[in-house]
Structures are given as structure tokens and as C-alpha cells.
């Protein structure tokens, strides 16, 4: 492990100073090669699929794992899009001159060696590799075991291109020891690894957070709320709530709990029930909700659950204070929305709710690098530090200060 990481660290300094034009050409070569090697990748994927079937993977997991020509073309296209993004390295973030004439520039530079731990979808292998490469970082990839042959095929294609382009293959690699012990070692190698990004289930993220000495940017769960305030346009509120829950229930920015202001509950809840019934959403509610619409009872544990399914908890709240208090207690700091036309209520919600993304009159489903206009995303950070919310390519950089003097010494 140590020799492998030493190589990665050494490769980092080569990549850090590579010009954007060269990086983009390599990325386009990678995209072409993925398409060219489509058959080979599909053959590897077929083996994973067969093993997954034998192991009795769920149909949802099997679908995530599956690659066909269309999906491989989409992977290649994503790499081309990353190539087309604005160069993230070298941006001057700030600059000023001190009283004694030192010119100081705060300049974006690559982080170094980045370990990304993810689950079943094999397209993350090419996405993560391309995002790291574009931002000048060495990528150490640890995908799901069930996708190991697909990932090996994809990484092989990428490494072939790197070698042909005269670059170290160590710039993109799969962690050789993909066991839990291998991960446990990796996350304590702070001499060589600069950042670990775990994407996946709570158990994985807890394990990484509790054991890492390398800095961690977590991509954890989203327990997101939408609060329909007394001042809401109810047509808009229903539309936003249904979108936040139903457009794609299995993702982290989907709503899990709907808070309805007591002042509008009697009017809003029947309309919401009708709209959610049309989407076959299972509804649970507190006592006050159930006095207005017939839904199953919601308990403490429901408000604490990220369903990731077409299920919604509802609670009637007494105004902004109770809504904010509920979110403070149960929210995961991911995405929270208020629907209202009341300016003061919107301001209070925006300022007092502590989450990566706080919305007024829009669906929480927009918490996404693509929707934010970042072009591509590494994921959605639930960290408070370094990167928060949708994590774009610029969040894969850190900075250094360049100081230009003409003989200044400290008195």
C-alpha cells in the first residue's frame, strides 16, 4: 500500500503543472477510447451482472450496475463535458498589495491525491477520474465490489490512454486492496493522501469518519423538508411539494417531510392529499394532519427517517418558529425549502435554517451540480468545511499564496 501511494504522490506533482490544453486533449482521448472499447467494457459488465444475479442483488442495484452502449456513450459524453469546463487550476481567487509593497495572490491549485469511495454505479469510475484529472488531482478509486470487473475495464481504458500520452498510469488507479481493511489503511495514510470523499451508505461514511486521519468530505444522507408557510401560493406549494417528493424519490435531495402551517392546513392538506394520491405516494401524518385528511399516523421515528422512497411524513406546525425548530432537530443540513410569499418569513427561514441549500419557492430537487450550473459534480457534500452542498470541479482545488517581493524583510 505504501509504495503504491508513494507513486501516486509522486505522480501528483507532474499532474499539478500540466497545461489545461494537454489535460483536455487527454480527456477527449479517454472519451473516444471508452466508446471504442465499448464491447470490452460491456463484456466485463456482463460478468458483474451474472455474479450479481447469482448473489441475488436487488433489481435496483442490478439496474445501477448495468451498462449498455447507450450508458457507455453517456459516460464518454460526460468526460467530454468535463474537458470543456473552465480550467480550475490557477484561478486567482484574491489578490492585493500590502502596505510594504508585497503583492499577494491567492491561487487555486490541485489538492493532490484524492481517494473516492463509492458504490455500485460503474460510471462513477470515469466521472470521478475525469473530474480529478481535470482539477489536477491523482484519483484513487474504490468502487463497489459488485462492479469490480466493470470498474477494472473502465480504469484500464483510462490508464491505457494515460500511458500512450506519456503520463504516469498512477494518475488514475483502483485501490489494489478493495477490502474493508484496504480502505481502513488508505484513510490513515495522511502522508500521501490529501482528501477522502466517501459516497454511499451511512455505515461506510461513519466508518470512514471515525477512522480517517486524512481529511474527509462526506457525501451523506439528505433528510430534506419543505415548509408550506401561511403566506404560500397553494397552487405553487402543491406543485413544489409533489416535485420535491415524487420526481425521483430515491435521491438525497428529495423531500422526506412536509411541514404545513396550521393557518392553511385545512385548505392545503386535502389538495396535497389529492395530488400525492395521484402519484401513489404513501402519506403519514401527525394528529393534526389526521384530523383533516385520512393518513397513517407518523411517529417520532418517521420524522427521523430518510425514506428514499415514495413515502412522505407530514406535520402541522405553528408558524416559522416551529418549522425552523423541527428542521433544526431532524434535518440533516442538506436542502430545506419554504414556500411563501411573505418576505419576512422567507428571510427568517433563509437566515436561520442551517443547511447547505435553503430554498424559497422552489423544489429541493435542484440541489445538484448540474442544476447549479457547475457542469459536473463530485457529489453533494454534507460537510460544513471545505465544500458544502453541490461539489463542483472548483471544490477539488485548494489554494496557495504567492507572494511577490522586492527585498522585503520583517522589522
Residues at the contact surface with a second copy, assessed by CB under 8 A: 13, 16-17, 96, 98-99, 102, 104, 109, 111-112, 190, 194-195, 209-210, 213, 215-217, 233, 236, 239-240, 243-244, 247-248, 328, 350-352, 354-363, 365-366, 371-373, 383-386, 388-390, 398-410
Q: Least distance to a second copy from the beta carbon of 188, Å?
A: 8
| Closer residue to a second copy, CB minimum distance, 33 or 355 | 355
Q: Least distance to a second copy from the beta carbon of 17, Å?
A: 6
Each residue of 72-86: b (16+ CB within 10 Å) or e?
A: beebbebbbbbbebe
| Closer residue to a second copy, CB minimum distance, 105 or 160 | 105
Give the whole-angstrom CA distance, residue 350 versus residue 356. 11
Give the whole-angstrom CA distance, residue 14 versus residue 380. 29
Q: Least distance to a second copy from the beta carbon of 207, Å?
A: 11
| Closer residue to a second copy, CB minimum distance, 57 or 214 | 214
SS3 107: strand
Provide the β-strand partners of residue 381: 389
Is 307 in contact with 256 (CB distance < 8 Å)? Answer: yes
Q: Least distance to a second copy from the beta carbon of 330, Å?
A: 14
| Closer residue to a second copy, CB minimum distance, 67 or 170 | 170
Stretch (H or E) spanning 258: strand 255-261
Give the whole-angstrom CA distance, residue 368 versus residue 201. 19
| Closer residue to a second copy, CB minimum distance, 46 or 362 | 362
Crossing angle of helices 234-246 and 262-278, in 10° steps, is 50
| Closer residue to a second copy, CB minimum distance, 125 or 363 | 363
Q: Least distance to a second copy from the beta carbon of 333, Å?
A: 9
| Closer residue to a second copy, CB minimum distance, 49 or 240 | 240
Is 195 in contact with 115 (CB distance < 8 Å)? Answer: yes
Among 41, 8, 243, which residue's Cα sits nearest to residue 111?
A: 8
CA-angle at 344, arms to 338 and 346, nearest 5°: 20
Q: Least distance to a second copy from the beta carbon of 378, Å?
A: 14
Q: Least distance to a second copy from the beta carbon of 314, Å?
A: 19
Is 122 in contact with 143 (CB distance < 8 Å)? Answer: yes
Amino acid at each position: 500500500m505504501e509504495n503504491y501511494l508513494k507513486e501516486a504522490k509522486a505522480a501528483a506533482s507532474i499532474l499539478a503543472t500540466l497545461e489545461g490544453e494537454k489535460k483536455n486533449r487527454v480527456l477527449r482521448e479517454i472519451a473516444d477510447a471508452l466508446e471504442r472499447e465499448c464491447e470490452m467494457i460491456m463484456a466485463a459488465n456482463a460478468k458483474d451482472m451474472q455474479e450479481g444475479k447469482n448473489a441475488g442483488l436487488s433489481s435496483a442495484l442490478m439496474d445501477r450496475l448495468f451498462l449498455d452502449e447507450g450508458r457507455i456513450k453517456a459516460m464518454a459524453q460526460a468526460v467530454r463535458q468535463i474537458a470543456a469546463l473552465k480550467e480550475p487550476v490557477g484561478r486567482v481567487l484574491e489578490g492585493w498589495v500590502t502596505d510594504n509593497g508585497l503583492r499577494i495572490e491567492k491561487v487555486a491549485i490541485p489538492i493532490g491525491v484524492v481517494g473516492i469511495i463509492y458504490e455500485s454505479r460503474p460510471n462513477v469510475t470515469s466521472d470521478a477520474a475525469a473530474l480529478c484529472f481535470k482539477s489536477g488531482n491523482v484519483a484513487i478509486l474504490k468502487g463497489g465490489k459488485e462492479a469490480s470487473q466493470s470498474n477494472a475495464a473502465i480504469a484500464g481504458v483510462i490508464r491505457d490512454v494515460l500511458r500512450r500520452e506519456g503520463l504516469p498510469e498512477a494518475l488514475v488507479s483502483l485501490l489494489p486492496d478493495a477490502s474493508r481493511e484496504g480502505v481502513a489503511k488508505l484513510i490513515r495514510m495522511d502522508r500521501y493522501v490529501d482528501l477522502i470523499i466517501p459516497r454511499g451508505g451511512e455505515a461506510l461514511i461513519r466508518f470512514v469518519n471515525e477512522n480517517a486521519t486524512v481529511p474527509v468530505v462526506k457525501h451523506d444522507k439528505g433528510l430534506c423538508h419543505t415548509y408550506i408557510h401561511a403566506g404560500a401560493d397553494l397552487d405553487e406549494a402543491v406543485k413544489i411539494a409533489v416535485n420535491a417528493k415524487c420526481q425521483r424519490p430515491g435521491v438525497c435531495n428529495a423531500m422526506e417531510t412536509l411541514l404545513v402551517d396550521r393557518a392553511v392546513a385545512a385548505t392545503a392538506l386535502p389538495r396535497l392529499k389529492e395530488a400525492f394520491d395521484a402519484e401513489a405516494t404513501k402519506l403519514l401524518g401527525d394528529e393534526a394532519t389526521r384530523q383533516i385528511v385520512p393518513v397513517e399516523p407518523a411517529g417520532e421515528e418517521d420524522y427521523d427517517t430518510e425514506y428514499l422512497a415514495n413515502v412522505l411524513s407530514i406535520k402541522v406546525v405553528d408558524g416559522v418558529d416551529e418549522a425552523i425548530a423541527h428542521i433544526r432537530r431532524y434535518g440533516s443540513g442538506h436542502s430545506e425549502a419554504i414556500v411563501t410569499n411573505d418576505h419576512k418569513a422567507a428571510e427568517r427561514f433563509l437566515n436561520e435554517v442551517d443547511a447547505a441549500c435553503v430554498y424559497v419557492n422552489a423544489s429541493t430537487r435542484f440541489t445538484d451540480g448540474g442544476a447549479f450550473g457547475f457542469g459536473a459534480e463530485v457529489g453533494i457534500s454534507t460537510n460544513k468545511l471545505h465544500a458544502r452542498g453541490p461539489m463542483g470541479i472548483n471544490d477539488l482545488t485548494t489554494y496557495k499564496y504567492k507572494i511577490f517581493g522586492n527585498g522585503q524583510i520583517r522589522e
